[in-house]
Amino acid sequence: MKKLLAFAFLLLIAFQTKAQTADEIVAKHIEARGGAEKLKNLQTMVMEGSVEQGGNQIALKFYLSNGKGVRTEFSVMGQTGYNILTPVAGWSFNPFAGNTEAEAMPEDQVKEGQSQLDIAGPLVDYKAKGNKVELLGKEKIDGGECFKLLLTRPNGKTATYFINESWLMVRAISTSTVNGSEVEVTTDYTDYRKTQDGYTIAFKRINANGEISFDKIETNVKIEESLFKPGN
């Protein structure tokens, strides 16, 4: 009986140490991005860049307003389309697919995209948001050793984050529902730079759709609410 109790106690200590270690990594990651208070005060972001697809250079512009809306514009060959997501609805306008006006997003797509409205990201105040974080150990990414964190959202969706020795995220793996099927999405983050107001942000993001390079990122700037309505 004593041996069983001792074993149970060791398991409890191991679990507590693991949880504390995960919290330490999250705290250092948040500090590397600018600090908890600064990230909590991040209300808007405008990002301008481009991606090459099919031999065409596509100009991109992202408008993010914390908890209110996300608008993604894509321009090529003199035409511009956009995707809009808000807490209650979403719309897509794609002139390259023959659209003449914006189309409403399916309800499940709107629901799944809600995490995009959290500019600070799910690791900031993760417990208050109902998220859980678990340390899965270490793994090498492009020759560098990274901490591997598993985040589980209240809806059961998970994401795996790889944090390097500079406490910055170099890779994120998540799942997305496409046409009723779960698809794994991997995004690599590089070219971290510090903005004028002290936020450290990746200016290059690479996924299956290509390599997005940002030329300009502004934070806490005024964004007109009309941008989160179709037809504007």
In this prediction, residue 231 has a pLDDT band, given cuts at 50, 70 and 90, of confident
Segment 93-116, tens digit of pLDDT:
999 888 889 999 999 889 989 999
Domains of the chain, by residue range, sit at 2-228
Is the pLDDT assigned to residue 3 strictly greater than 60? no
pLDDT at 191: 98
pLDDT for the residue numbered 176:
76
pTM equals 0.87
- Beta strand 69-76 with 56-65 is antiparallel
Of 184 and 214, more confident: 214
Query: Is residue 21 within a helix (H) or strand (E), and if so which, with residue range?
Result: helix 2-32
User: How far lies 228's CA from each of 83, 88, 117, 118, 231, in Å?
Assistant: 9, 11, 12, 15, 9
Output the pLDDT for position 20.
52
* Residue range 49-93, pLDDT digits in tens: 999 988 889 999 999 999 999 999 999 989 999 999 999 999 999
Query: Do 83 and 120 touch, CB atoms closer than 8 A?
Result: no
* 96 vs 76: CA distance, rounded Å: 9
Looking at residue 17, what is its pLDDT? 38
Of 116-125, 146-155, 170-179, 209-218, which range is least confident?
170-179
Task: Output DSSP code: residue 128.
Answer: T
Give the three-class secondary structure for 227: helix
Q: Is the dihedral of CA 35, 37, 38, 40 positive or negative?
A: positive
Query: What would the CATH number be for the domain defined by 2-228?
Result: 2.50.20
In one letter, which amino acid is 20?
Q
pLDDT tens per residue across span 8-21: 444 444 444 344 58
